[in-house]
Structure 1
């Protein structure tokens, strides 16, 4: 829903801000007051072309900002798919700033392309003015609207088609992957066999890589360990050991003459014992451990083999062995490919038959619902003075199956006797097209997820009963949607939940456009102007008051 519109330095507008109601918003004003500037500014923010000299003369820039409230979950999800910056408090701001010949569009403060702006805008707002931003003119939207309109009756068939298509697509993918030319088949067989044998020849054991790493660390330093330990053993046993033994003998020879030397002799004896223990320990280690260059190379080669296989086929030995198992299965399939392909083809044929039947049932259901919908839209069009209208939906088969069936469907119309029916997007008249859109929206309002509708030119060339019917249909749509309508017809303006007057004024030798929200008394005065023109008599004012009261009662009913 469009909460707020802010325009600055656009054409005759210095700066205006409008807070919209969530139901029917009416904008009226004299011809040339600036209504087209407001529509043009909205179009600009939604990704439209920048009209020449649209920025106010002598202004450094022009700016349009649209503040939306987004509550529909499906719309939020689609905005996420478009990578729209996070929507805080359910609000989204679209803006466009025009500086000279350049312009910058942003969504929630982040710069985006005009193409992305248009995609976002299509989810939030439908603008019916000169073929701009009209979702109902996009053929791909027609089938979606039809499906929403008949969602209860179509649900089961759509689910069946989607389920069949999912299975069908998986089988097609598997079949494509297994349908190989003989040369390609041989190439794959050779490759898979080589990889399988490479792993097989290694005779890998679970956890082997961890023990190899530990052994390699020891072996890599084995030579240094043996050499250092041998030197230490020699020093302890020969040089240090002999020196300590000699010192001990000398001390023992004199300690009996002086009791104070006994403790020193004992300390030296302890050192001698420790050196003897150290010598025995190093001798035992050296006898048990030897360094072999050949064994080290064998260990290194084994570790390189294991790491090579892990680099090619998996992060761990478990992964490599799992990959080998998969290779065996793929080899089995390739070696018996013809039988496997035949099996897939049989399954595909079976599911394709089911998919075709389900798609045909869905198409028939859609045609029945389309007939009802087109009848309702035709009645709505007759109400809007399209007395000789014909409205229908064309179904054309798609070349391929999809999860949504095999239907390409779009609406066609003829508004005059003897005129061929044409697709909606070929309807030329802006005002006529707006009323066609109104008729369609009135029938699809409950299933159309676009919350905000803007109508311009909807009252071109109509009056009397047709004008009243247009007003009633707009009122009906506004019960469940936000509607913004620019009009010169009092019948439509009387239905307003919120009424704005657009005026052109001269301020300090400068022409500016302003907009005012009208209270009830001012609304009646504006209705009187729309009814009576220049001269507003008491009778005209009374007629305006009665029209407003009748519109209020009609809205309640």
Structure 2
């Protein structure tokens, strides 16, 4: 419930601070006094968009703050989901800066307008005449019926199941689409895979093959060069080895004379040893060479296969071909196993549908049982509100299609007159009739579910006399279970409020401002008497006002 409201620098409201109690609260005042400004401020507090026209003084900040007692509203989950601190007494604040920028806070934590709106609709239901069309919607009618049928647990279960079903059906569609696509490619992919698998590719193979091919393809020149090199090293007449030995012997004789000569001698010795090792290696390399035309041809063919595959797949390495082979293996395997996967998903879908059907039947049975009760109560209240011939014709029909809240179509037809033709509410009910139907439904709902604070904005327009008393009684009944505000022009309703506030305009320093004040008993008598007889209050109007207040 709304505990207090603070408004600063909003439209004609310079500054306003007011507290509210539980029960029925009535707000009265002349037309144009500023009652709509209160609703506008509350709308901003609950997440509506703002602009600079909302600011009274463009040089100052506009601020609207509400304190709410939310202990009974089961909102802990909402606060957890929004990562907000939960407080049983929650403060909501909205600010509009002179720059036009808007800010919103819940318990001093900045929030988005979306978050503010999600919380707002669970705290206050602002209901005006133009909003009565909500009662004509199928969703609203189902919500009312479900409140009476006490099927919230089943409906939550159904919604979870429906969400799962949609996920599974989406998965099935994607798998089937993928199967169609892969099936078209399957034969070609299989051909490419077989081709790559027959090639028996190995990482690093290409460089080895290319080296072997170059060696075998140039074997005669290699042999010739190796033989020539060996001859130059080991020739008895002018071989490099003999020349080095001569140098080595010569230097060894003078090596003892100085360290530098010793170093040179050692270096020649090292070169001589290295040369002998090189000569041995040359000899081994020469002996290992063997011209093999058959092997050369085999390697050439192998290289051609690899190069053809590289060209075909537009890659430059065996590693890339191996990756393509692995991808093709996965695609082919997936295509071949996709039917099993699809069948498994379809079994899950069938199981989910069976569970949904079972829950839908439970919901249907509860609704069928509650519907006559709803219609009976609704017609009874409307009779008291001056619609004695108002009747409803309803039907609940199960169908195959899964809807958001069950598998039923609700026919909710209305007739205001005896022998009248039944039709949809939005087509056959007048604005005044819709208003009464809505307040009747809200009255019923207040007994079966925890509603947020309700604000009726002149919903009683066009009502008078005994009907006004009945409407006041209905609001009083509702206020036993929730906080009810009624912005009204009817003295019968104003007098029934546990508290009454007056909205009025006042000129202050050549500026018109809107004010709101709590009326004491004497003020209420005069206000209600004025509502009965006008500005010139008569004794009879005062007497009537007192009787209404003390009734």
Q: TM-score range by the shorter chain?
A: 0.5 to 0.7
- What does residue 86 of structure 2 align with? 87
Deviations 1:464-520 (A, max 9, x none): 011011100000110001011111211111111111122222222222222211222
**Correspondence list, 1:19-418, <5 A:** 19-48=19-48, 50=50, 53-56=53-56, 60-72=60-72, 74-81=74-81, 83=82, 85-97=84-96, 99=98, 102-108=100-106, 109-131=108-130, 139-151=138-150, 154=151, 181=179, 184=182, 349=350, 352-353=353-354, 355-356=356-357, 358-391=359-392, 400-401=401-402, 404-407=405-408, 409=410, 413=414, 415=416
Are the aligned partners of 1:525 and 1:541 in contact in 2 as well (CA < 8 Å)? yes
- What does residue 220 of structure 2 align with? none
Residue 106 (structure 1) shift? 0.5
Deviations 1:222-269 (A, max 9, x none): xxxxxxxxxxxxxxxxxxxxxxxxxxxxxxxxxxxxxxxxxxxxxxxx
- What does residue 444 of structure 1 align with? 445
Deviations 1:147-168 (A, max 9, x none): 22211xx478668867976997
Q: Which runs of 5 or more structure 2 residues have no equivalent in the other structure? A: 191-331
Residue 413 (structure 1) shift? 4.6
Deviations 1:283-312 (A, max 9, x none): xxxxxxxxxxxxxxxxxxxxxxxxxxxxxx
Deviations 1:157-214 (A, max 9, x none): 6688679769977976887798673885998x99xxxxxxxxxxxxxxxxxxxxxxxx
Separation in structure 2 between the aligned mates of residue 536 and residue 528 of structure 1, nearest angstrom: 6
Q: Per the alignment, do residues 487 and 21 of structure 1 end up closer, same or farther by CA in structure 2, a change over 3 Å counting?
A: same
- What does residue 5 of structure 1 align with? 5
Separation in structure 2 between the aligned mates of residue 31 and residue 165 of structure 1, nearest angstrom: 49
Q: In structure 2, the residue corresponding to 1:181 is in which secondary structure?
A: helix
Are the aligned partners of 1:106 and 1:112 in contact in 2 as well (CA < 8 Å)? yes
Alignment TM-score, normalising by the size of structure 2: 0.62
Are the aligned partners of 1:34 and 1:502 in contact in 2 as well (CA < 8 Å)? yes
Deviations 1:114-147 (A, max 9, x none): 4443322211111112445997577545434422
- What does residue 422 of structure 1 align with? 424
Q: In structure 2, the residue corresponding to 1:377 is in which secondary structure?
A: helix
- What does residue 497 of structure 1 align with? 498
Separation in structure 2 between the aligned mates of residue 103 and residue 138 of structure 1, nearest angstrom: 36
Q: Per the alignment, do residues 77 and 399 of structure 1 end up closer, same or farther by CA in structure 2, a change over 3 Å counting?
A: farther
How many residues are paired up? 413
Q: In structure 2, the residue corresponding to 1:25 is in which secondary structure?
A: strand
Alignment TM-score, normalising by the size of structure 1: 0.61
CA RMSD of aligned residues (A): 4.5
Q: Per the alignment, do residues 538 and 397 of structure 1 end up closer, same or farther by CA in structure 2, a change over 3 Å counting?
A: same
Q: In structure 2, the residue corresponding to 1:522 is in which secondary structure?
A: helix
Are the aligned partners of 1:79 and 1:120 in contact in 2 as well (CA < 8 Å)? no
